[in-house]
Amino acid sequence: MTKIRVMVVDDSVVVRRLVSDALAADPSIEVVATAANGRLALKRLEQLAVDLITLDLEMPEMDGLATLAELRKRGSKVPVIMFSSITTRAAASTIDALTLGANDYVTKPDKLGFDGSRAKIQTDLIPKIKALCSRGGTIAPPIKTIESDAPITAVAIGVSTGGPPALQTLLAAIPATFPVPIFIVQHMPVTFTTMLAARLSQTSPLEVVEVLGPAKAEAGKIYLAPGDFHLVVEKTPTGIMLRTHQEAPECSCRPSADVLFRSVAAAYGASCLGVVLTGMGSDGTRGSEAITKAGGAVIVQDRASSVVWGMPGGVVRAGFAHAVLPLESLALEIIRRARGTSRARVA
């Protein structure tokens, strides 16, 4: 088996050793180079082929954002995972990096000691490396189509790896006159979701708000689950209410798309639409089943436009996808369904 060749870029000797030791424990991964800053990393990449780069944000001479921008300017498509601290500044920079073309990120362990930090890196980083460097996948079964003249009254979106740029593309194409609420679960920690909501609000014609407490759902607004909290909607005599809670993670995720989707299915029934975008793991599959059983529909992002086809692929393989579409076509399909004139297409 050919090993996944990784370059570790970080200005800290301790972090370079920590990441290298963590990755060395997996026989399918090999750290072939390290670099103390972006300038050195770019120089080594001229002589060395790698399958993936882990990239620190804050470094002397050339930081992570500048390095990433230069990589993409040179036409490099090598996957990049940013290594970020959980701070407001780092969260904002990480969102910038994902917009510039980083594929994913992990947060640096804090106060865990060397062994604890190494174990956390193995848990957080190795699955992402393998997902981004996947050598292929299974063939998806045929997709059933659904045609409906009944307009939807709510949209629920689940997304993970590759989510911020995908959401930016999708939401920017939804018009200010969109008539129903949109609920989103993006797998991100505290602070990061705050930065993401602010960033999406800059490019979306609709208002994007992070749900920080009970609120009434309003048509034409976009609601983002906060980091480390599940987001649910509930049907009440006065309308649809949103609330958050910290019950156990599902699919190792909090917020979880499954939790959101189940609540949307219960509150809206056959008039809800689930949308599953790029992401690793299987979060969203069980929730898509709930939407389907309630009479609603689920559409997913196709493999070609996804950074990782784990979440959407899982929905397809389970038989709960009604249509598979490229990212650039999803907004039009959502708009059509909101108007009750949609014809689902099969990819």
Instruction: Decide if 59 is inside a domain.
Output: yes
| The token pair that represents 227 in the structure block | 């980091």
Q: What does the pLDDT look like over 306-330, one tens digit per residue?
A: 999 999 999 999 999 999 999 999 9
Is there a single domain that holds both residue 185 and residue 333? yes
Burial class, 196, CB count within 10 angstroms (exposed 0-12 / middle 13-18 / buried 19+): buried
Beta bridge partners of 107: 84
Question: 245 an active-site residue?
Answer: no
pLDDT of residue 144: 59
User: pTM of this prediction?
Assistant: 0.91
Supply angle C-alpha 176, 178, 184, rounded to 5: 100
Place of tokens 């598979």: 324
* CATH number, residue 225: 3.40.50.180
Is there a single domain that holds both residue 104 and residue 198? no
Residue 183, number of CB atoms within 10 A of its CB: 27
Beta bridge partners of 157: 184, 275
**Which DSSP symbol is given to 312?**
H
pLDDT of residue 110: 76
| Average pLDDT value for the chain | 92
Question: 230 an active-site residue?
Answer: no
* Catalytic residue chosen out of the listed positions 117, 148, 160, 342: 160
Is there a single domain that holds both residue 191 and residue 252? yes
* Catalytic residue chosen out of the listed positions 10, 11, 51, 187: 187
Instruction: Decide if 201 is inside a domain.
Output: yes
Q: What does the pLDDT look like over 119-154, one tens digit per residue?
A: 999 999 999 999 999 855 555 565 655 555 578 999
Spatial strand order in the sheet of 215-216? 215-216, 239-245, 230-236
Is there a single domain that holds both residue 43 and residue 173? no
Which one is predicted more confidently, 298 or 1? 298
Question: 204 an active-site residue?
Answer: no
* Catalytic residue chosen out of the listed positions 96, 283, 302, 342: 283
